[in-house]
Amino acid sequence: MTTRQGSLALLEDEVAQRLLQSPLPARLAYTWTDGTPRVVPIGFHWNGEELVFGTPTDAPKMRALRDGMRVAATIDTGEMPYKVLLIRGTVRTDVVEGVAPEYEAMTMRCLGAEQGAAWLTSLRAMTTDMARVYLTPDWVGIIDFETRFPSAIERAMERAAGAQ
């Protein structure tokens, strides 16, 4: 029996665990100040409970993201069969001096030791502080195109199986 879409227990699924350690960016979706949708690719760190995004304090998204705001994020693979982790939840933000530790961890995971250290050295020379955006999941979905499919495809598969 597969865990129902929407359950936070899906965060423990092998697909989710692999994607939460992926070097690929997440796509963060939120509502801009004028009510229009936005999606941005962004590096992330999974702290075991939240996705954490580090960003410059003057990044445009920081004008729109407010504590308690509802957002969505997806992390996926680039090859078939696609693996997709879908997360919906609320955000909270803060600002830290220097480079956020979660941003450092993401950089090392994504770029490796040598390139990561070089980028962080450059970044420390350019920035005095960094914003953090924490996404606390309240809904999680997985599409793996092996055992879990988009809901419309699953319904079509059920209809086809019932017609036989």
Task: Render 22-55 in DSSP notation, one character per residue.
Answer: -SSPEEEEEE-TTS-EEEEEE--EE-SS-EEEEE
When pLDDT is cut at 50, 70 and 90, the band that residue 1 belongs to is low
Domains of the chain by start residue, with CATH: 8-163 (2.30.110.10)
* pLDDT for the residue numbered 161: 85
Whole-model pTM? 0.92
Instruction: Return the pLDDT at 156.
Output: 85
What average pLDDT does the segment 54-73 reach?
97
Place of tokens 């030791």: 113
Q: What is the DSSP letter of 8?
A: G
> Phi, psi at residue 89, to the nearest 5°?
175, -160
Structure tokens at 120: 């962080």
pLDDT for the residue 162: 83
Between CA 37 and CA 22 the distance in angstroms is 25
Q: DSSP states of 116-160 as a string?
A: HHHHHHHHHHH-SEEEEEEEEEEEEEEE-SSS---HHHHHHHHHH
Residue 44 near residue 25 (C-beta atoms within 8 A): yes
Residue type (1 letter), 67: D
Over the stretch 80-99, which tens digit does the pLDDT of each residue have? Answer: 899 999 999 999 999 999 99
Cβ-based neighbours of 45, under 8 Å, separated by 6 or more: 51, 52, 53, 54, 102, 103, 105, 106, 109
Q: What is the CA radius of gyration of the chain?
A: 18
